[in-house]
Structure 1
Amino acid sequence: MAESDGQERTEQPTEQRLRQAREKGQIPRSKELGTAAVLLSAAAGLLMLSGPLGRAMSRVFEQNFRVERAVLFDPQTMMPALTDSLVSLMWPLLGLFAIVLVAALVGNSLLGGFNFSTQAMMPKLSKMSPLKGIKRMFGVQALVELLKSVAKVVFIATLAVWLLWSQFENILRLSNETLPAAMVGALELLLWMGLLLCLALLPIVAIDVPFQRWNHTRQLKMTLQEIKDEYKNTEGKPEVKGRIRRLQQEMANRRMMAEVPTADVVVVNPSHYSVALRYDKDKPGSAPVVVAKGLDEIALKIREIAREYEVPVISSPALARAVYHSTKLDREIPEGLFVAVAQILAYVFQLNSWRKGQGRKPVPLKEDLPIPDEYKV
């Protein structure tokens, strides 16, 4: 089916398209499935309730055909007789109606499920358009429904004629039976023939259900442009999303930079990496935490803030790369880097004490800090 812009509906409907269609009441339905469920349940219900229903009918016949002459001509007895007849038939018929009601609800919801849509209940002027009504009458869907109805009538009629022909001798034999036996035999024969005719609907249902699924999907198929537009409306335009990501990244960087002055040391690779570490000595069992890290321009900014707030900056390229790639922001460093970081912190703490005149000048750090091979980058 071509769109106005020339594109064809070649793509399967998206989840959003299916959800919107369901909200509008556009779901796959099979009338044949609902009809078969109702008829089969009615036939099965009559077979199951044939005993109680037959006994109730016998009581009604006895009450209404065995009456005295005085009662027959008394108008006051009409309503009590009608009430007694209705009460006698009420319980078997209520059971039958309950079976048929449940079957109607279940059968009509097996395909597409239960769905309540207020949008489908709203009046639409497009449904009142004569031109669109004619188009629907002579469309592909109407043609399929016509062919299906004709095939169904031919199939059921053929089966009914075959059943009557095969049971012709049994039907004639009923005329030789006495009245109660003839009635029972006739009812039993009608019920079984009705059940077989209802079972004949199953092949029609087996064809109609897959067709309704396919037709529903076909009607909801989308063009490539529709999928792109839906993605833009749902996820946002790429340029807008990019702008949002940049703003979020800038906010995160500002928060991260605010933590640099609280660091104990900034470990750098002079060219590209900067990692700010903070260690809480008053918290037993804690490990150094990465409070800021970055590459290139962000790394340079971290170093600038560190120098501004007199946070020691130590050059250790291998350790800076290892911490950057192994530890997320606001997380403790892995156990494998404890020894190397401990040497850095010990040097920084001794350096701070020496600057305050409380100790001797620390020995310069070695360049080959102990870094496990799995953390080397």
Structure 2
Amino acid sequence: MSDEAPEQSSKTEDPSHKKLEDAHKKGDVAKSQEVTTWFMLLGSAVIFAMMAPGTSAALMLEMRDLIANADRFEVGGPALGTFFNGLAISVFSIALVPLLVLSVCAVAANLLQHRPLLSIDPIIPRLSKISPLQGAKRLFSGEAIVNFVKGLIKIVVVAAAVLYAIWPERDRLDTMMTADPMLILADFQALGIKIFLAALVVVTLIAGADLLYQRNKWWKKQMMTLQETRDEYKQMEGDPKVKGRIRQLRQERARQRMMAAVPDATVVITNPTHFAVALKYDQTMRAPVCVAKGVDAVALRIRARAEEHAVPVVENPPLARALFKSVDVDETIPAEHFKAVAQVIGYVMRLERHAGWKAER
């Protein structure tokens, strides 16, 4: 345990999404056995409250017929097997519904704690699982001691709650031994419901506390050191698929920002369909700035968006090609293109003044 403390104390970073996914793939999830116990106890209580009288009566009738007609049953040869098969079928038919209810409760307890997953990692044979030394370490580990103490506390607390619930009924227990069997069933059901309710109250508190403890313990186990975080980041950055996906996302975001800037452009210079460069200029700027550019399909989208927002589109193939090659988005145009661009922007401004471009926009 002393060796684990420094390692745990160095885990200061929250686990990454990849670390959590890897843990889930290995079947390592936050799970409280007390929650499963609570669901099973709840299912048992429901079964007892709803089916105890009928089930007990059915079993009593089966046993009464068996005892009353005991001299009529053949117990030799094949008849013995037939007799026990019939008895087993009768008992199983009575117990089938309770078994199904408890099975559903067990599945629900696990599904509510974590999403469904399929992992063969926990059942893969490992030498550490059969090593006496490793087994001794697990047996006397801090977790084993905590589970042992927790089990003792649970037994004592549940026993005290059950004793508290049935103590006022202690006088009835003596009279139940001489009462009519049908009356005993009713008294037994009432007493059993009290016991279940008392146990459920205590187990609910235990399950809630254990669930928080298990999740906190699991989260601390998944935490990473700063070095692990850096190594994972380097590993992911070095993955060609990851790098390609990151590059694709960056290009998509850049294209979206670029298209959003087209409506504010002053002019779009085209080739007319192969190249498109959108420029923005006002009196406060030292030189026009490229707000969007594209080739082929992207060029057509820029031109369509410009026409949609009444941005002037000027066809000038040499200038469009030159600007596309020499300037990037959000950069001012090179000095060698000032004169040609100034002529285009001056032409656009004259059109706006004389033909009412601003009014149309």
Provide the residue aligned with 1:91 in structure 2.
93
Gaps of 5+ in 1: 250-274, 280-287, 295-317, 349-364
- The answer to whether the 8 Å contact 1:32/1:205 transfers is yes
Cα offset, 1:291, TM superposition? 5.2
The CA RMSD over aligned residues, in Å, is: 3.9
- The answer to whether the 8 Å contact 2:44/2:102 transfers is yes
Aligned residue pairs, count: 290
Provide the residue aligned with 1:370 in structure 2.
348
- The answer to whether the 8 Å contact 2:165/2:194 transfers is no
C-alpha distance in 1 between matches for 2:13 and 2:38? 33
C-alpha distance in 1 between matches for 2:228 and 2:238? 14
C-alpha distance in 1 between matches for 2:107 and 2:128? 29
> Residue 50 of structure 1: which of 46, 49, 52 is its match?
52
Provide the residue aligned with 2:6 in structure 1.
2
Paired letter, 1:2: P
- The answer to whether the 8 Å contact 1:31/1:108 transfers is no
Provide the residue aligned with 2:288 in structure 1.
321
- The answer to whether the 8 Å contact 2:278/2:292 transfers is no
Paired letter, 2:224: M
Shifted more, 73-82 versus 119-128: the winner is 73-82
Q: Deviations over 1:286-330 (max 9, x none)?
A: xx5525799xxxxxxxxxxxxxxxxxxxxxxx9x936x3144443
TM-score (norm: length of structure 2):
0.67
Give % identity: 24
Cα offset, 1:19, TM superposition? 0.8
Cα offset, 1:241, TM superposition? 6.5
Cα offset, 1:62, TM superposition? 2.6
Q: Deviations over 1:52-106 (max 9, x none)?
A: 313321321231122275x267647655554444343332210111011111122
- The answer to whether the 8 Å contact 2:38/2:204 transfers is yes
The structure showing larger relative contact order (alpha-carbon pairs under 8 Å, at least 6 residues apart) is 2
TM-score (norm: length of structure 1):
0.65
Provide the residue aligned with 1:63 in structure 2.
65
1:237–1:200 distance in 2 versus 1, CA, 3 Å = closer
Give the SS at the match of 2:288. helix
- Residues 253-272 of structure 1 mapped to structure 2, 5 A cutoff: none
- The answer to whether the 8 Å contact 1:10/1:221 transfers is yes
Gaps of 5+ in 2: 252-267, 280-284, 321-342
Cα offset, 1:141, TM superposition? 1.7
C-alpha distance in 2 between matches for 1:165 and 1:149? 24
Paired letter, 2:138: R
> Residue 270 of structure 2: which of 266, 271, 277 is its match?
277
Cα offset, 1:150, TM superposition? 1.6
Provide the residue aligned with 1:284 in structure 2.
none
C-alpha distance in 1 between matches for 2:53 and 2:99? 16
1:52–1:231 distance in 2 versus 1, CA, 3 Å = same
C-alpha distance in 1 between matches for 2:108 and 2:205? 19
Higher normalized helix content (fraction of residues): 2
- The answer to whether the 8 Å contact 1:40/1:195 transfers is no
Provide the residue aligned with 2:275 in structure 1.
290
Paired letter, 2:288: R
C-alpha distance in 2 between matches for 1:185 and 1:83? 33
Provide the residue aligned with 1:297 in structure 2.
none
- The answer to whether the 8 Å contact 1:28/1:212 transfers is yes
Provide the residue aligned with 2:135 in structure 1.
133
- The answer to whether the 8 Å contact 2:53/2:189 transfers is no
